[in-house]
A and B are shown apart, each in its own frame.
Chain A
């Protein structure tokens, strides 16, 4: 069984005006100039490498940190590298109000936890979630907790298939365990 409770420091992806950045596409997450890379250990250095204001993210982030992004995170292309670059950096989890459809699948299949948090815009606007806060979420629970601020916040728990694949480790191991 894989861990289903995650805690870590959050990075809230804000623009220069302090707003949660929406529609971050896969070229901003992992630029197509590096699509030829197939070794996951080399992908982390390019994470958010084309997102204005966040190009130094790979240097700043620490293992188990949690990324907080605006709606439609991972819009655009089907590249798995846009998920793998965060696995490469050992990012614990990504929270966003919604994800690009293909991006969401890619994350699920890799066993990389992505959680939907429909009220995230408001939580960030009201500074209930701020960069540097330590938070805790349970993938099967509808309530997360900001440990630093001692405040609960709502999240959408994982669906059964997403949770099962996550628990198995990846789509591959899930497929081998069940007939599919």
Chain B
């Protein structure tokens, strides 16, 4: 029997026979911790291992992306704890100016196809976008990984999803993603690896793949892959990461737990209503919901292409009085690109606030929090009750968030 992508990647990192349901010990290529989780990793490490060396310091990183630069004394302390440990151990810190760790790892070529990467970020499986097995873990797992370079993992079953049909603006990669989440809910892909097929996903750019793969977490899946690639995608990843992009393909006779078809033909923009990401509706059902704030960013929609999509709508227009729009680039590199391409100016002139690169509101960072009664429309990936504050969060594409901030209510870009 052949192997699926996840089985092949794990097989590349263990001597044991890999099959779904089996727990194996797996070698890790990269292990990382953030400014949340990181201080606990340091505390665990020093308690369990004292000053003993890490397995491989050159494969171990801190990526600060949560509260950057620190906006509370606690985070300032926690970041400093990590910096001091990093200095002592000789490991690199991507500090508070870098941006979202998972994105930095793609840009730096650390997260490569067929590699294994763990860290204290539950959306680290976005690395599936570049054919890499990324997995978020807790601080005990990550401490153990720092010391041993290994982890145990139950080989997941793989679900095959064929996305049929195509979409066109005002629908975007985010709407495709939300629509797939609507169809899968939190049951169908639970605890599984997912392989997405079909022309529409094959044609996704890196940023679109990141959007799709990031929300496999909300589908309760382990990781998502898009095996088929276009020439332009391979070129895009090579240019960004500085190395060849050659993701694995599954064997022809590999076994899937199930095969599902999702037809996205002619979808309209999709919006997830409070308080769960899979509570997805067609925008027509939510049109007219008054909003107070907009947020564009996060590991799901914080790339240059996402911000450009918003800027195209905002250019030459003004955000409605009384509405605030917060924009946070995923990384410093994205910040540089939007600066050089004039996107930053378009956003600024429309009245948007630009935050420093990072995760922002999703994890109680400093941008994108809501007060009681506040209604936010966000390009993030989670809208659980209380997550970004006491307000209500709707999840949508950068285009819908931009349009809604101009209108002061949820609208599709075509309604402007």
Contact residues, A106-137 vs B (CB, 8 A)? 106, 109-110
Contacting pair B364 A33 (CB below 8 A): yes
Contacting pair A170 B43 (CB below 8 A): no
Of B85-93, B157-165, B384-392, the one with at least 4 CB within 8 A of chain A = B384-392
Contacting pair B140 A171 (CB below 8 A): yes
State whether A27 and B140 are in contact (beta carbons under 8 Å apart), knowing that A38-B40, A159-B23 are contacts in the complex.
no
A100 to B148: give the CA distance in the assembly, Å. 25
As a 0/1 sequence over residues 90 to 107 of chain A, the CB contacts with chain B under 8 angstroms (1 = contact) are 000000001011100110
- A77 interface residue, CB < 8 Å from B? yes
Contacting pair A75 B186 (CB below 8 A): yes
Of A11-19, A58-66, A78-86, A138-146, the one with at least 4 CB within 8 A of chain B = A78-86
As a 0/1 sequence over residues 181 to 208 of chain B, the CB contacts with chain A under 8 angstroms (1 = contact) are 0000010001100000000000000000
* Residues of chain A contacted by B387 (CB below 8 angstroms): 27, 32
Contacting pair A180 B220 (CB below 8 A): no
Q: Which of A33, A100, A172 contacts B144 (CB 8 A)?
A: A172
Contacting pair B140 A170 (CB below 8 A): yes
As a 0/1 sequence over residues 254 to 272 of chain B, the CB contacts with chain A under 8 angstroms (1 = contact) are 0000000000000000000
Residue of B nearest to A32 (CB): B364
Tell me the minimal C-beta distance from B143 to chain A in angstroms. Answer: 8
Tell me the minimal C-beta distance from A15 to chain B in angstroms. Answer: 13
Contact residues, A25-63 vs B (CB, 8 A)? 25, 27-28, 31-33, 35-36, 38, 50, 52
A79 to B152: give the CA distance in the assembly, Å. 18
* Residues of chain B contacted by A33 (CB below 8 angstroms): 364
- B363 interface residue, CB < 8 Å from A? yes
A110 to B137: give the CA distance in the assembly, Å. 13
Tell me the minimal C-beta distance from A85 to chain B in angstroms. Answer: 13
As a 0/1 sequence over residues 18 to 45 of chain B, the CB contacts with chain A under 8 angstroms (1 = contact) are 0000010100000000001101100110
Tell me the minimal C-beta distance from B77 to chain A in angstroms. Answer: 8
- A156 interface residue, CB < 8 Å from B? no
B contacts with A: majority SS: mixed
Tell me the minimal C-beta distance from B15 to chain A in angstroms. Answer: 13
Count residues on chain A whose CB falls below 8 Å from chain B CBs.
Answer: 36
A100 to B384: give the CA distance in the assembly, Å. 15
State whether A78 and B136 are in contact (beta carbons under 8 Å apart), knowing that A50-B386, A161-B23 are contacts in the complex.
yes
Contact residues, B108-162 vs A (CB, 8 A)? 120-122, 136-141, 143-144, 147-148, 150, 152, 154
Contacting pair B120 A78 (CB below 8 A): yes
Contacting pair A109 B138 (CB below 8 A): yes
* Residues of chain B contacted by A32 (CB below 8 angstroms): 363-364, 387
Question: Interface extent on B, as a size class?
Answer: 35 or more
- A175 interface residue, CB < 8 Å from B? yes
As a 0/1 sequence over residues 148 to 160 of chain A, the CB contacts with chain B under 8 angstroms (1 = contact) are 0000000000011
- B276 interface residue, CB < 8 Å from A? yes
Contacting pair B384 A106 (CB below 8 A): no
Q: Which of B147, B150, B386 has the most CB of A within 10 A?
A: B386
Contacting pair A109 B140 (CB below 8 A): yes
* Residues of chain B contacted by A83 (CB below 8 angstroms): 138
Contacting pair A79 B191 (CB below 8 A): no
State whether A76 and B382 are in contact (beta carbons under 8 Å apart), knowing that A23-B276, A105-B137, A105-B138 are contacts in the complex.
yes
As a 0/1 sequence over residues 71 to 111 of chain B, the CB contacts with chain A under 8 angstroms (1 = contact) are 01011001000000000000000000000000000000000
State whether A80 and B144 are in contact (beta carbons under 8 Å apart), knowing that A101-B191, A180-B150 are contacts in the complex.
no
* Residues of chain A contacted by B364 (CB below 8 angstroms): 32-33, 35
Q: Which of A77, A101, A102 contacts B363 (CB 8 A)?
A: A77
* Residues of chain A contacted by B72 (CB below 8 angstroms): 36
* Residues of chain A contacted by B122 (CB below 8 angstroms): 76-78, 102
Contacting pair B43 A78 (CB below 8 A): no
A83 to B138: give the CA distance in the assembly, Å. 10
* Residues of chain A contacted by B386 (CB below 8 angstroms): 27-28, 31, 50
Contacting pair B140 A36 (CB below 8 A): no
Contact residues, B401-415 vs A (CB, 8 A)? none
State whether A75 and B220 are in contact (beta carbons under 8 Å apart), knowing that A98-B190, A102-B136, A102-B138 are contacts in the complex.
yes
Contacting pair B140 A76 (CB below 8 A): no
> Which A-B residue pairs are the 10 nearest by beta carbons?
A36-B74, A106-B138, A80-B138, A109-B140, A78-B136, A78-B122, A161-B23, A32-B364, A77-B122, A80-B139
Task: Given A23-B186, A38-B43, A109-B144, output 9 extra A-B contacts at Cβ < 8 Å.
Answer: A23-B276, A25-B384, A36-B72, A75-B186, A76-B122, A83-B138, A101-B191, A109-B140, A180-B25
